Structure 1
């Protein structure tokens, strides 16, 4: 309970900073539009930010989308073969095969302290390792989510090659040592990363492939701010799901 209270306080602090940043940006841009910086206007904007970031209902919608996506064989993997030595990359499977191929995206819906639906994501680096961003920053972690996580899903970008996926994983590895990004709506920074921002940026920056959706967009003072929840990495139209275990809507 103590961890949850600390996290929530930190979370609200992040959004307070976000609102101040947007307001400062709006008031300094050229043009005739100016924004009222009175306390009521500020409180209204802050309340809107607090009510929108990662709402439970939006999380359920994303989970439902992921649950309804067909699980297919990894079209870039040579690990899944039939008796004839051939695979059908778009053939539906039950749970799929847990990924070891470099550049596959991993997602879990496990909740922070069992309560807050932030989830987590990483990119596979090898059969034994993933690159992920934790509270300590970008690190190399263990590729064992199929046994250590209550929920787990994986997917691959449709339009990339296996070599491009591997390069995306290398790009993430090059960020090891950078700090965690607690400002979830600052997706443009490359000096710090939160988990899903790191994976998203590896495909956005290298190939111009946007794995985000508008699920968590908010509007403050006429400016749209975007954050990316881990589940969005697999629920967008650019990715196919290749593995899913114990995922539910709740």
Structure 2
């Protein structure tokens, strides 16, 4: 039953993507719409999905959080003054267990990397002309009442800025709906983007090293702590 549901969600993702490709997009984004999907899902992926769902549910239970719905609204970049709900500092990781970067994501949650107190970089799916890696206002706590911020233990200010620069390099890349392809560098889902920004600095934030990196995975390892 779980496998059938997961396969259905992936099939829906392909269907949604095909529909979105027919919509008008900005000129600079036209070449970013050609997203490929593998015909076979790697062994162990379903187990990772179930593990991620279980870990997310336990996080919500332990933190005594209420589920929140994703606010699908356009936001300004570099809002002034500091936005209500601003969280974290440069290079920090923002996490909500109940939001979604894409309605097709088989494991709940959403993650972002903090640029500064005014803005974040996030990967969002199924949002037409704002699909993929974009700047968003750092009002994460306003959008998600259950949000928390995490910092990489021992990281210097220079390393944190480098992680942000890595994420900036991927701006306007498309959304990666093949969640088991976390090593792709031409498309990103939310937690994959944050993971990659730090991975390229030699910091492994995927605590179980699976074929997918779920938002909850970014919070469970020994290299981060809640702030």
> So what's the TM-score if we normalise by structure 2?
0.64
Q: Does 1:211 align with 2:205?
A: yes
What per-residue deviation string (whole Å, max 9, x for no partner) do you get for residues 80-124 of structure 1? xxxxxxxxxxxxxxxxx96342111101112446x9652111011
**Equivalent-residue separation in structure 2 for 1:51 and 1:203 (angstroms):** 25
**Equivalent-residue separation in structure 1 for 2:141 and 2:196 (angstroms):** 24
Q: Which residue of 2 aligns with 1:53?
A: 49
Contact residue 86 and residue 141 of structure 2 kept, 8 A: yes
Q: Which residue of 2 aligns with 1:78?
A: none
Q: Does 1:138 align with 2:136?
A: no
Q: Which residue of 2 aligns with 1:183?
A: 178
Q: Does 1:174 align with 2:162?
A: no
Q: How many residues align?
A: 171
Q: Which residue of 1 aligns with 2:224?
A: 239
Q: Does 1:20 align with 2:40?
A: yes
Q: Which residue of 1 aligns with 2:155?
A: 160
Q: Which residue of 2 aligns with 1:248?
A: none
RMSD over equivalenced CA pairs, Å:
3.2
**Equivalent-residue separation in structure 2 for 1:181 and 1:121 (angstroms):** 14
1:109 to 97, 108, 117: 97
What per-residue deviation string (whole Å, max 9, x for no partner) do you get for residues 107-147 of structure 1? 1112446x965211101112110001011100000100111
Contact residue 123 and residue 133 of structure 2 kept, 8 A: yes
Contact residue 180 and residue 194 of structure 1 kept, 8 A: yes
Residues 200 and 102 (structure 1), Cα distance of their counterparts in 2 relative to 1, 3 Å cut: same
**Equivalent-residue separation in structure 2 for 1:146 and 1:205 (angstroms):** 27
Residues 229 and 64 (structure 1), Cα distance of their counterparts in 2 relative to 1, 3 Å cut: farther
What per-residue deviation string (whole Å, max 9, x for no partner) do you get for residues 161-215 of structure 1? 0221111112101110101111111111111111101111111112x11100228
* 5+ long unaligned stretches in structure 2: 1-5, 15-36, 65-84, 126-130
**Structure number with bigger Rg:** 1
Q: Does 1:11 align with 2:13?
A: no
**Equivalent-residue separation in structure 2 for 1:14 and 1:52 (angstroms):** 19
* 5+ long unaligned stretches in structure 1: 1-6, 23-44, 69-96, 218-225, 243-250
> So what's the TM-score if we normalise by structure 1?
0.59
Q: Secondary structure at the match of 1:20?
A: coil
Alpha-carbon distance, 1:19 to partner: 6.0
1:23-42 alignment to 2 at 5 Å? Answer: none
Q: Which residue of 1 aligns with 2:79?
A: none
